[in-house]
Amino acid sequence: MVQNFDDIEDKITESGAWEKTRDFLGLHMEIGNDISISILDVLIVITAIFITTIVLRIVLKIITRNLPDDDKGKFSVVYGYFRWLIYLIILLVTLHSVGVNVTAVFAASAALLIGIGLALQTLFQDIISGVFILIDQSVHVGDIIEIDGKVGRVEEIKLRTTRAVTIDNKVLVIPNHLYLENSLYNWTQNGTTTRESVEVGVAYGSDVQLVRKLLLQAASTNDRVLSEPEPSVIFTNFGDSSLDFKLVFTLSDSFKAQFPKSEIRFEIERLFRENNVSIPFPQRDIHIIQK
């Protein structure tokens, strides 16, 4: 009987402690006229924020594990901004799920976010595009790119813009959102060597084998043209006024391709002149009908 009374007393004590704990957790704090939050709600919010922090760190490590150290630093800056936005969303959703009336806060936040989004729409597009560039590694510093008809060597990739230097030594500032709106040509993603070409037409009746020989000679004597793979000549078409040929060759620095191309054109003109191969003017036959 004594043991039974002790058990009953312990249960009463435990029940009293639980009642006190429940009453403590149920204490409400009034924030303004519309928001009421309990201590239990605060603990749930803290737990949700803690779990969100762990998940965000895991996601950050997964995304940045293959990025260079410089790009990791840039991505971490963007991550810091988005992290606080995610925290705000988790906070509001958690409070709403535990029964806290945050309708007014939701409305104010929605209006604020819409206003900021409309005002900074292009800026957000640039930043998101910069994140995509850092993650998929489609463009690297040193690459030669062509976008929207502009060509430059990439010098720096920032979150909002990419800076490149043109052949004229002018700085080309490219907003990153253009990568999503336009086709990007990366000249050097497959390597530093590129295939270039020079086109020329000769008069009908010319010795095409001699033309082929002279074109190959013009390419092979240029120091900037690589010997492997060898230059080649393509007979492209029987044109309106000329026989059309394309001289194809390989360069190790395509960024300055216009200079060896110019040198090869000079050499072609000299060789054609020495070997009596003419480059014709456009010709048209005009028939006059008299009545």
pLDDT digits (tens, 9 = 90+) for 136-194: 777 878 888 888 778 888 888 877 788 888 888 888 888 888 877 777 888 777 667 88
Q: Is residue 165 part of a domain?
A: yes
pLDDT of residue 156: 82
Lowest mean pLDDT among 49-63, 113-127, 247-261: 113-127
Q: Which long-range contacts (CB under 8 A, 24 or more apart) does 60-64 make?
A: 63/135
Q: Which of 186, 206, 222 is the last residue of a domain?
A: 186
Same domain, 110 and 148: no
Lowest mean pLDDT among 41-50, 113-122, 263-272: 113-122
Give residues with Cβ within 8 angstroms of 36, minimum separation 6: 28, 29, 30, 100, 101
Selection from 65-79, 166-180, 236-250 with the highest mean pLDDT: 236-250
Q: Is residue 41 part of a domain?
A: yes
Which of 138, 129, 226 is CA-nearest to residue 180? 129
Q: Work out the mean pLDDT of the chain and round it to a whole number.
A: 76
Q: Is residue 131 part of a domain?
A: no
Q: Is residue 129 part of a domain?
A: no
Same domain, 168 and 202: no
Same domain, 92 and 160: no
Q: Is residue 143 part of a domain?
A: yes
If you ran DSSP here, which 8-state letter would residue 255 be given?
Answer: G
Q: Is residue 286 part of a domain?
A: no
Same domain, 37 and 86: yes
Same domain, 35 and 107: yes
Same domain, 61 and 96: yes
Q: Is residue 206 part of a domain?
A: yes
* CATH number of the domain encompassing residue 179: 2.30.30.60
Average pLDDT, integer, range 254-282: 89
Lowest mean pLDDT among 22-36, 68-82, 89-103, 224-238: 22-36
pLDDT of residue 126: 76
* CATH number of the domain encompassing residue 218: 3.30.70.100
Q: What residues make up the domain containing 78?
A: 22-119
Q: Is residue 65 part of a domain?
A: yes
What share of the chain has pLDDT > 70, as a percent? Answer: 67
Per the structure, the count of domains in the chain is: 3
**Quick one: tokens of 269?**
């003109």
Same domain, 37 and 115: yes
Q: How far apart are CA 284 and CA 253, in angstroms?
A: 40
CA dist 271 → 57, 148, 266, 277, 280 (Å)? 67, 37, 9, 8, 15
pLDDT of residue 66: 66
Same domain, 152 and 100: no
Q: Which of 93, 119, 145 is the last residue of a domain?
A: 119
